[in-house]
Structure 1
Amino acid sequence: MRHALLALLLALTSSACTAAVRDCAWPAWEAFKTQMVSADGRVIDASSPRSITTSEGQSYALFFALVANDRATFARLLRWTHNNLAGGDLGARLPAWLWGRSDDHRWQILDANNASDADLWIAYALLEAGRLWDQPDYTRLAERLLWRSAAESLLWMPDVGLVLLPGRLGFINPTGTRINPSYSVPQLFARFAQVDALWAQVDHDTQRALIDAAPQGFVPDWRLRSWQDGWKPDAQTGLLGSYDAIRSYLWIGMMAADAPGRAALQQRLAPMAAKVAALGRVPEKIDTQTGSVSGTPSSGFAAALLPLLAATQQDDALAAQRAHLHQHPADANAYYAQVLTLFGHGWDQGRYRFAANGNLQPAWAQACPP
């Protein structure tokens, strides 16, 4: 009986999703804009006492605006990022990762270091906006940003290849180099490879590093590449997989069926999908060596696992997490839970897909062309 009910829920949810996409409205994006995006284009994390804005938040919102075919909001987000995080020239200066209210109550950059994943999501959103909206200025800016990111954030490591530093400062030390696996997104690298073949090598090397990072099928938040002893647990976070690592399952789950490396990556991460199926929930924290779990996260984690559950054919677990997401939506002011939901649930609703070459395939391009 339980399996039959889950199958019915899965069918009804899929039917509702198809109908929702057909009219090209995206209520979740509209709600996110109302709650978190200022009139001038700043994504505000209201949970922070400093009302911070991050380059990550700006980059994700640019992507969602493109998925929603929301040109006006895209332009506002880009203008604010350009002026406030990059000193007025996003092509010449990687955006600062953190902006907000300082201790003396001034609104300013709080940390000028970059976040390389945000840099690349901004470049991707610009490239695809240039292509889908026929805006050559976006394409040119994306290419400048991409070259700047390659120059400042890529590092060649012996026996590893090209790796993406999390930022230009603070991640190389006498012990080794800290790497965040969730910063590497195969779809983005595949798209960038259309600009320069360097990124195809980055894609190859980082896919191999991700497989190496998860021998038991669970991705850690951080890893350390020791100068003497190869890959080691990170000194600060150890073997923990949690709020960073959740994105790795999301990215890999959303890979196109014919994308290079998809089968190997999804096979490696299949134990996480099986763990969710066995538990009936997505854990907040997981020991990536033993598989022991703890904590109950926001429903954003459930949304992030939807693509991987679908890809690994965990149909009962997929239906259960869809139901959980429906019954326990993310709090309106919970920034991270909201962006995970827009990514995972938006993909599950069919609002967008990624082609094998990294091109974005938004539903509006077919159902509601501009």
Structure 2
Amino acid sequence: MFSRPDTPAGGAPRRRRRALAALLAGMLALPAAQAAPGCAAASWPLWERFAQRFMQADGRVIDYSVSQQHSTSEGQSYAMFFALVAHDRARFDKLWSWSVANLAGGDIGARLPAWQWGKKTDGSWGVVDPNPASDANLWFVYALAEAGRLWSEPRYTQAARTLLAQVAEKEVADLPGLGPTLLPAPSGFVLKERIWRLNPSYLPVPLVRALERLDPQGPWKAVAASHARMLAETTPHGFAADWVAWEVPEGGGKGAFVTDPEKGDIGSYDAIRTYLWAGMTPRADPLAPLLRQQLSGMATALQSVPLPPERVRTASGEVEGAAPVGFSAALLPYLQSLGLSSALEAQRQRVRTLLLEAPPETPARYYDQVLGLFGTGYMEQRYQFLPTGRVQLRWEKACPSQKSQNAAATDRH
């Protein structure tokens, strides 16, 4: 009933393929980019290696480190952003088309993309976990909205608005005493009555600024405020946790952030992104001073240890283990924003040796590659975030005719 994972239809049942193909052709298939002379896809070796190792021809991104050979909405959305940074519209289109067809059942107006797709226990291929992931959905929205602006394609912009409306409806909750807050998913994160699990790494500040512009009547200013409060009240030693919880006493009363009762106060593979996003937040952003003040723990740790710790205890500030090279890549923008030149150079050298200049036969870890693309892409000035939330891309300078089209499209909207 289900096709092999390397077929264009992914896991869709055969009887639905023609219908899905027609839908995608009519609504999602977009014309090839009208590139001006000298406006070809930007050369980005790390992106090319990532695409060759982890991305199928049909647009599916695979994490081979797990037995299910699974794909996630996070992986798809990140790759769309990287494709935009690389001016790689062909791959961008395939990534989005695969995501809609296989994670959203062909209709993003009816459902949010499922979090996980892969090999099921019965040997078939399809959605493994249908619960959406809000961070992936925000990256989908952002990549689509910015692609619509930069490539002058209104259908991308409309898809971004359609998806964002669902996120606001299903993944933002008005928590007692905290206000509108981004939940990790529509279900499964209310631990028990009046305790909500939250993830500090799910909301990059530059993205929420873009959402405020895309949906000015939406809850995004309030969401940014609750996010800022979460970071201010859950980082006593300057370290971010993977997960935290918001608890309101039974019978009402003032709520408070508490240690997640199941995950504990560990900061590790999720939390590393919190420092990454903070480092890329423009200095002119109102939350930039808070981010740099509240997330100082990793900078302090690197004064006494040569490598980023793999795990930290946020309640005590204790650190343990040596993290993989992806953590070093993620910390490059953070260390630069703090002006820590010695620590920056040490991590930059590690990234250069183990990631950028590693021999082709070196085994590549998916998450290291993702963090490497974010961190080194930013440091190489392939992209920068503006205070408005817009992304500024290196290839824009090589595309003057396209920039004028973008300006005209912006004026029309």
* Equivalent pair of 2:71/2:117 in contact (CA under 8 Å): yes
Q: Please show how residues 244-283 of structure 1 align to structure 2 within 5 Å.
A: 244-283=270-309
> Take 2:363 and 2:178, find their aligned partners in 1: how far apart are those partners?
41
What is the deviation of 1:205?
2.1
Task: Identify which range, 132-141 or 279-288, moves more after superposition.
Answer: 279-288
Task: Identify which range, 278-287 or 134-143, moves more after superposition.
Answer: 278-287
Instruction: List structure 1 runs of 4+ shifted beyond 6 angstroms.
Output: none
Matched, 1:342 2:373: yes
Q: Deviations over 1:73-121 (max 9, x none)?
A: 0000000001000000123210000000111111110011000000110
Per the alignment, residue 287 of structure 1 pairs with 313
Q: Please show how residues 2-41 of structure 1 align to structure 2 within 5 Å.
A: 24-41=42-59
TM-score, normalising length: structure 2:
0.82
Per the alignment, residue 352 of structure 2 pairs with 326
Per the alignment, residue 16 of structure 2 pairs with none
Q: Please show how residues 157-172 of structure 1 align to structure 2 within 5 Å.
A: 157-172=175-190
Per the alignment, residue 5 of structure 2 pairs with none
Q: Percent identity?
A: 45
Amino acid of the residue matched to residue 41 of structure 1? G
| DSSP 3-state at the match of 2:192 | coil
Per the alignment, residue 216 of structure 1 pairs with 237
Per the alignment, residue 6 of structure 1 pairs with none
* Equivalent pair of 1:304/1:341 in contact (CA under 8 Å): yes
> Take 1:368 and 1:319, find their aligned partners in 2: how far apart are those partners?
33
Matched, 1:361 2:392: yes
* Equivalent pair of 1:213/1:219 in contact (CA under 8 Å): yes
What is the deviation of 1:319?
0.3
| DSSP 3-state at the match of 1:173 | strand
| DSSP 3-state at the match of 1:45 | coil
Q: Please show how residues 1-370 of structure 1 align to structure 2 within 5 Å.
A: 24-175=42-193, 176-197=195-216, 198-228=219-249, 230-329=256-355, 332-368=363-399
| DSSP 3-state at the match of 2:215 | coil
> Take 1:334 and 1:135, find their aligned partners in 2: how far apart are those partners?
34
- The 1:256–1:332 alpha-carbon spacing in structure 2 relative to 1, beyond 3 Å, is farther
| DSSP 3-state at the match of 1:194 | helix
What is the deviation of 1:260?
1.8
Amino acid of the residue matched to residue 219 of structure 1? A
* Equivalent pair of 2:239/2:267 in contact (CA under 8 Å): yes
Per the alignment, residue 7 of structure 1 pairs with none
- Unpaired segments of 5 or more residues in structure 2? 1-40, 250-254, 403-413
What is the deviation of 1:191?
0.1
What is the deviation of 1:356?
0.4
> Take 1:190 and 1:283, find their aligned partners in 2: how far apart are those partners?
30
What is the deviation of 1:368?
5.0
| DSSP 3-state at the match of 1:108 | strand
What is the deviation of 1:42?
0.3
* Equivalent pair of 2:231/2:294 in contact (CA under 8 Å): no
> Take 1:49 and 1:368, find their aligned partners in 2: how far apart are those partners?
43
Amino acid of the residue matched to residue 211 of structure 1? A
> Take 1:245 and 1:81, find their aligned partners in 2: how far apart are those partners?
26
* Equivalent pair of 2:307/2:323 in contact (CA under 8 Å): no
Per the alignment, residue 11 of structure 1 pairs with none
> Take 2:225 and 2:318, find their aligned partners in 1: how far apart are those partners?
30
Task: Identify which range, 262-271 or 113-122, moves more after superposition.
Answer: 262-271
What is the deviation of 1:66?
0.4
Task: Identify which range, 77-86 or 149-158, moves more after superposition.
Answer: 149-158
Q: Deviations over 1:245-301 (max 9, x none)?
A: 000000011011211210121121123212123312111001112221111221000
Name the structure, 1 or 2, with higher relative contact order (CA <8 Å, separation 6+): 1
- The 1:260–1:57 alpha-carbon spacing in structure 2 relative to 1, beyond 3 Å, is same
Task: Identify which range, 220-229 or 32-41, moves more after superposition.
Answer: 220-229
* Equivalent pair of 2:206/2:385 in contact (CA under 8 Å): yes
> Take 1:241 and 1:254, find their aligned partners in 2: how far apart are those partners?
20
Amino acid of the residue matched to residue 390 of structure 2? N
Amino acid of the residue matched to residue 199 of structure 2? N
Task: Identify which range, 114-123 or 166-175, moves more after superposition.
Answer: 166-175
Amino acid of the residue matched to residue 345 of structure 1? T
* Equivalent pair of 1:24/1:368 in contact (CA under 8 Å): no
Please identify the structure whose Cα radius of gyration is greater: 2
CA RMSD of aligned residues (A): 1.5
Amino acid of the residue matched to residue 182 of structure 1? S
> Take 1:332 and 1:79, find their aligned partners in 2: how far apart are those partners?
29
> Take 1:200 and 1:357, find their aligned partners in 2: how far apart are those partners?
13
Amino acid of the residue matched to residue 283 of structure 2? A
What is the deviation of 1:139?
0.1
> Take 1:266 and 1:96, find their aligned partners in 2: how far apart are those partners?
33
- The 1:39–1:353 alpha-carbon spacing in structure 2 relative to 1, beyond 3 Å, is same
What is the deviation of 1:200?
1.9
Task: Identify which range, 322-331 or 86-95, moves more after superposition.
Answer: 322-331
- Unpaired segments of 5 or more residues in structure 1? 1-22
What is the deviation of 1:321?
0.2
What is the deviation of 1:333?
3.5
